[in-house]
Amino acid sequence: MQEHASQTRDEIRSIVEAILKAQTENDYELVSERTDELTALIDEHEDKYKSYASVIKNSERGASNRKEEAQALSNLAGLLRQRLQDDMKQRNLMEVKASNYTIRIVKNEIPTVIVDIPAEQLPERFQRVVQRVESNKIELRSAIINGEEVEGVTLELGEHIKIYRY
């Protein structure tokens, strides 16, 4: 009995991992198939409600951890990009070859919107409310490019790092 439960847990874990991989690869048909397979396996299990609860809780915990990990990795990549760009600028380098990569500092094609006033002070059409009032930078950029002046807002062309594999 214990061996059967362990085997079922391993099968469930394997299917969940396959679902995660398929989601990562945006293969939604396979996600659907594997989800149906998971549901069928759980339904066959003697204590299916415990299995459902366990898979749901583990999935939610895994999703939460992955979001935190993804955000942490994204923050780290951003910090490293900025540090690399600063280092290259300090050495007056616009391009560097590093093993299989070419790293370039390139000018932004789309200007960054710099808002120097609180969003509440902007005209209403340049505001958006998520949980609080925020500036709508897409609308602001469009208006300023089209010649409109908005107090407290400017456009700024910056630079960013591009990493190419060769």
Does residue 84 sit within a domain? no
What per-residue confidence (pLDDT) applies to 92? 93
Q: Dihedral of the CA atoms 35, 36, 41, 45 (nearest 10)?
A: 100
Token pair for 148 = 């409109």
Q: What is the pLDDT of residues 72-128, one digit of tens each?
A: 778 888 888 888 889 889 999 898 888 788 888 888 888 888 888 888 899 988 988
Our count of domains for the chain comes to: 2
Query: By the 8 A CB rule, do 101 and 165 touch?
Result: yes
Share of the chain above pLDDT 70, in %: 93
Does residue 52 sit within a domain? yes
Q: What's the pTM value of the predicted model, to 2 decimals?
A: 0.44
Q: Do 113 and 160 sit in the same domain of this protein?
A: yes
What per-residue confidence (pLDDT) applies to 3? 56
Q: 120 vs 59, which has greater pLDDT? A: 120
Largest CA distance in the chain: 75
Rounded to the nearest integer, the mean pLDDT of the chain is: 82
The H-or-E segment that residue 52 falls in is helix 48-90
Domain ranges, residue 142:
106-165
Query: By the 8 A CB rule, do 96 and 88 touch?
Result: yes
The H-or-E segment that residue 58 falls in is helix 48-90
Q: Is 5's pLDDT higher than 70?
A: no
- Output the CA angle 105-73-16, nearest 5 degrees: 135
Does residue 95 sit within a domain? no
Token pair for 96 = 């560097």
Does residue 62 sit within a domain? yes
